[in-house]
């Protein structure tokens, strides 16, 4: 029987969360929010090629999870992967350069928005194929277990990805082999434009973990502290050799599936979007920090300004960087 938790987020005060953790979570979320906001502006201005799936609104999930990991822990991401990369520590300069398609990018300008990676930080890559990151993370966890190392793997995916065969195969293998891997479902309520109720008959995606004998927990994905606490417990369990765990974070993306304005396909109401924005994760954490004295307004504002300055520098760096040389077209291209 799967271990389940209430949908209600844990009381942060009960967790005796340190001021350092709160400030860490805040900074990670601010960095994601500002990176994505500026990327959206650049796309609307026609400066970035290709597609752009923005993470704005879901910051608490990436921040809460990544703050519980070590640098040598590995993650796999999704088409909406900028937030994961930023929270894992990939530099703004390399990320913006990648979005611009420049040789100074994280993938030398070859991957673009949906394929950013930085193996040195354990970021094994975003992925444009729904559910494709799951078996990669399971493989990384198997490698760690085989080598006798205590690092873990984390795979992020949306509600729609749990309908994909690779998810079920990966979850089953991870459970059977008791692999040190966390399954993080960022349930934002929509598989692209399709509401969850139209593509599955269960309300809580976490129920699916029970069929593999895998414990699960549901958290408020707009509460970074709740996400962090759940992840800390899951990480400890995985490092102790107790196997995988499934965390469903109920969250929401503020922008359309792709870009800022999207395809203007009316699949959700403005009222719904505003209702979720009223529970903004950054606003919530800042209010708590100010109320309990964890941080001052000046300290929080300083984080915003330092991040804005770093982003401006990174964009200038990307715009000044050269485009790839056609002579290097076959660089890192392999055939079997």
Q: How many CA atoms lie within 13 A of 251 on its CB side?
A: 32
Q: How far apart are CA 236 and CA 215, in angstroms?
A: 14
| pLDDT score for 17 | 67
HEC readout, the chain? CCCCCCCCCCCHHHHCCCHHHHHHHHHHHHHHHHHHHHHHHHHHCCCCCCCCCCCCCCHHHHHHHHCCCCCCCEEECCCCCHHHHHHHCCCHHHHHHHHHCCCCCCCCCCCCHHHCCEHHHCECCCCCCCCCHHHHHHHHHHHHHHHCCCCCEEEEEEHHHHHCHHHHHHHHHHHHCCCCEEEEEEECCEECCEEHHHHCCCCCHHHHHHHHCCCEEEEECCCHHHHHHHHHHHHHHHHCCCCCEEEEEECCCCCCCCCCCCCCCCCCCHHHHHHHHCCCHHHHHHHHHHHHCCCCHHHHHHHHHHHHHHHHHHHHHHHHCCCCCHHHCCCCCCCC
Q: How far apart are CA 44 and CA 21, in angstroms?
A: 35
Q: Is the pTM of this model over 0.95?
A: no
Who contacts 34 (Cβ-Cβ below 8 Å, separation ≥6)?
304, 307, 308, 311
| pLDDT score for 297 | 96
| pLDDT score for 325 | 87
| pLDDT score for 265 | 77
Residue pLDDT tens, the chain, 336 long: 333 333 333 333 334 468 999 999 999 999 999 999 999 999 999 999 988 999 999 999 999 999 999 999 999 999 999 999 999 999 999 999 999 999 999 998 988 889 999 999 999 999 999 999 999 999 999 999 999 999 999 999 999 999 999 999 999 999 999 999 999 999 999 998 899 999 999 999 999 999 999 999 999 999 999 999 999 999 999 999 999 999 999 999 999 888 887 767 788 899 999 999 999 999 999 999 999 999 999 999 999 999 999 999 999 999 999 998 888 888 888 887
């Amino acid at each position: 029987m799967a271990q389940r938790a209430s949908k209600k987020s844990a009381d942060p005060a009960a967790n005796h969360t340190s001021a350092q953790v709160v400030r860490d979570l805040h900074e990670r979320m601010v960095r994601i929010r500002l990176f994505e906001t500026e990327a959206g502006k650049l796309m609307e201005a026609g400066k970035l090629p290709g597609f752009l799936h923005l993470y704005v609104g879901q910051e608490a999930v990436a921040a809460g999870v990544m703050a519980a990991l070590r640098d040598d822990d590995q993650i796999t991401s999704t088409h909406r992967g900028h937030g994961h990369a930023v929270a894992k520590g990939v530099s703004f300069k390399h990320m913006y350069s990648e979005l611009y398609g420049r040789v100074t990018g994280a993938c030398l300008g070859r991957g673009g928005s949906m394929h950013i990676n930085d193996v040195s930080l354990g970021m094994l890559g975003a992925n444009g194929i729904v559910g494709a990151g799951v078996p990669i993370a399971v493989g990384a966890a198997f490698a760690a277990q085989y080598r006798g190392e205590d690092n873990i793997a984390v795979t992020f995916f949306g509600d729609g990805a749990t309908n994909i065969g690779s998810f079920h195969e990966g979850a089953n293998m991870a459970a059977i082999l008791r692999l040190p891997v966390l399954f993080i479902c960022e349930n934002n309520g929509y598989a692209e434009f399709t509401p969850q109720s139209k593509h599955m008959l269960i309300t809580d995606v976490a129920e699916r973990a029970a069929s593999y004998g895998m414990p699960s927990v549901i958290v408020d994905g707009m509460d970074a502290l709740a996400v962090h606490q759940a992840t800390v417990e899951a990480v400890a369990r995985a490092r102790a050799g107790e196997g995988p765990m499934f965390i469903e974070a109920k969250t929401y993306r503020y922008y359309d599936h792709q870009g800022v304005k999207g395809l203007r396909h009316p699949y959700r109401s403005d009222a719904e979007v505003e209702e979720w924005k009223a529970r903004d994760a950054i606003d919530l954490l800042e209010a708590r920090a100010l109320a309990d004295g964890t941080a001052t307004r000046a300290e929080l504002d300083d984080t915003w300004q330092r991040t804005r300055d770093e982003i401006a520098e990174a964009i200038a760096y990307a715009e000044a960087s050269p485009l790839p040389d056609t002579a290097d077209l076959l660089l890192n291209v392999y055939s079997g």
